[in-house]
Chains A and B, each alone.
Chain A
Amino acid sequence: MKLQILNEIIHKKSSNQKFALLTNLTNGNSEIFEFGKLLSNDFESYKKQIEEYHSLKRNGLIDGSQIFIQNFTKPIEVFVVGAVHIAQYLVDLFKNLNFVITIVDPRKYFVTDERFPNVKIINDWPEEIFKKLQTDSNNALITLTHDPKIDDPALKHALKNKFFYIGALGSKKTHTKRCQRLKESGFTEDEIASIHGPIGIKLGGKSGPEIALSIVSQLVLESNKLLLNSNK
């Protein structure tokens, strides 16, 4: 493989682009594939199948050929509302998974580089932040403040924009009240039921790292379900 292609992959990955690497295993030629891009002679005759494999995020040899396709998917962007101590453990756990994490908190004492080195962190209200961003079903939301004036606007935005995963920290009692407020704001029962609350799968732990692990486990579970459904 040419260094130029390796560099292109590194660049595209770091800017979270969706693309595939095609390799002709019989002669070693490689090429980057994106929808709408013209292909060279090595790959042109398999264009239709390549597009299909790419849509399904399927890695492998194109049927009946020696053309190998490897997909690089856009990582899921996770918004974490609340720069609290559980968020610090979340950052650690997400590090080795295919997620991009952004921490959001309007409280300036929580938002410091010392508490959150090497992670994108925004010191503003969720409402203001989401106004400026393009979000969709490739996003996930984790709310951790259990303060309605910070969490609720984020939850409403995530519901309206069909985030694939929404989880809210808080006891059953807190969550019941939260659901009531969302109902009063006009959200349907189904929409409200799609929120994972209390957040996380039951691991039985109560410490910060254990709660963070239970949240990450639930998010991974839901993202794998998503992938399985799209491959059916």
Chain B
Amino acid sequence: MEKQIKRTILEQARDWFRSDRKVILVRVVQTWGSSPCPVGSKMIVNDKGEFFGSVSGGCVESNVIEECLDLIKNNNSFKQLEFKVSDDNAWNVGLACGGELKIYIEKIIS
């Protein structure tokens, strides 16, 4: 059986873009305390809400996807997001690990 060569996150982003999807690149730019994904971790989200990669090990991904969809809807090109355990919405997206992180989301443009 032919093995499939693994595509990188960025190659997947390019493929989405080529097939006319809107694509958002998500990256961890700063962390405090314990956080599972180091600075530089990547994730991509498209306008259908599909995603690849990871920025927190599952704690904030759902929220990040919603932010990405908002970015697309409002036709903005980038935004910074901060996640803290002390947030009011900690029950929804709080980081169980007690860490904090800053995330940068940006649209891929031609």
**B108 at interface, CB cutoff 8 A:** yes
Determine if A96 and B6 form an interchain contact, defined as CB atoms under 8 angstroms apart: yes
**A23 at interface, CB cutoff 8 A:** yes
Determine if B30 and A60 form an interchain contact, defined as CB atoms under 8 angstroms apart: yes
**Shortest distance from the beta carbon of A89 to any chain B beta carbon, whole Å:** 13
**B92 at interface, CB cutoff 8 A:** no
In this complex, what residue of B is CB-closest to A119? B3
Determine if B3 and A6 form an interchain contact, defined as CB atoms under 8 angstroms apart: no
Per-position contact with B for A93-120: 1 when CB-CB < 8 Å, else 0? Answer: 0011000000000000000000001100
**B59 at interface, CB cutoff 8 A:** no
Candidates A7, A25, A117; contact of B29 at CB < 8 Å: A25
Determine if A2 and B110 form an interchain contact, defined as CB atoms under 8 angstroms apart: yes
**A223 at interface, CB cutoff 8 A:** no
Determine if A10 and B78 form an interchain contact, defined as CB atoms under 8 angstroms apart: no
Q: State the CA gap A1–B109 with chains docked (Å).
A: 6
**Across the interface, which residues of B come within 8 angstroms of A193, CB to CB?**
none
Q: State the CA gap A10–B11 with chains docked (Å).
A: 7
Determine if B108 and A3 form an interchain contact, defined as CB atoms under 8 angstroms apart: yes
Which residues 13-56 of B have a CB within 8 angstroms of A?
13-14, 17, 25, 27, 29-30, 38-40
**A59 at interface, CB cutoff 8 A:** yes
Per-position contact with B for A4-40: 1 when CB-CB < 8 Å, else 0? Answer: 0011011001000000000101001000000000000
**B77 at interface, CB cutoff 8 A:** yes
Determine if A117 and B108 form an interchain contact, defined as CB atoms under 8 angstroms apart: no
**B80 at interface, CB cutoff 8 A:** yes
**Shortest distance from the beta carbon of B15 to any chain A beta carbon, whole Å:** 10
**B8 at interface, CB cutoff 8 A:** yes
Determine if B29 and A61 form an interchain contact, defined as CB atoms under 8 angstroms apart: yes
Candidates A2, A3, A71, A117; contact of B14 at CB < 8 Å: A3
Per-position contact with B for A67-96: 1 when CB-CB < 8 Å, else 0? Answer: 010110000000000000000000000011
Determine if A6 and B29 form an interchain contact, defined as CB atoms under 8 angstroms apart: no
In this complex, what residue of A is CB-closest to B17? A3
**Across the interface, which residues of A come within 8 angstroms of B108, CB to CB?**
1-3, 6
Quick one: given A6-B13, A59-B40, are A28 and B8 in contact (CB under 8 Å)? no
Quick one: given A9-B10, A13-B8, A70-B27, are A118 and B3 in contact (CB under 8 Å)? yes
Determine if A23 and B104 form an interchain contact, defined as CB atoms under 8 angstroms apart: yes
Top 6 closest pairs, chain A to chain B, by CB: A59-B40, A28-B78, A59-B39, A70-B40, A68-B29, A60-B39
Q: A9-B10, A25-B80 are in contact. List 12 more A-B contacts (CB 8 A).
A: A2-B108, A7-B14, A10-B8, A13-B10, A23-B104, A23-B106, A25-B29, A28-B78, A60-B29, A60-B40, A68-B27, A96-B6
Binding site for B on A (CB under 8 A): 1-3, 6-7, 9-10, 13, 23, 25, 28, 59-61, 68, 70-71, 95-96, 117-118
25 A–B contacts from the bound complex (CB under 8 Å):
A1-B25, A1-B106, A2-B109, A2-B110, A3-B17, A3-B109, A9-B10, A10-B8, A10-B10, A10-B11, A13-B8, A13-B10, A25-B29, A25-B80, A25-B104, A28-B78, A60-B39, A60-B40, A61-B29, A61-B30, A68-B29, A68-B104, A70-B40, A95-B6, A117-B3
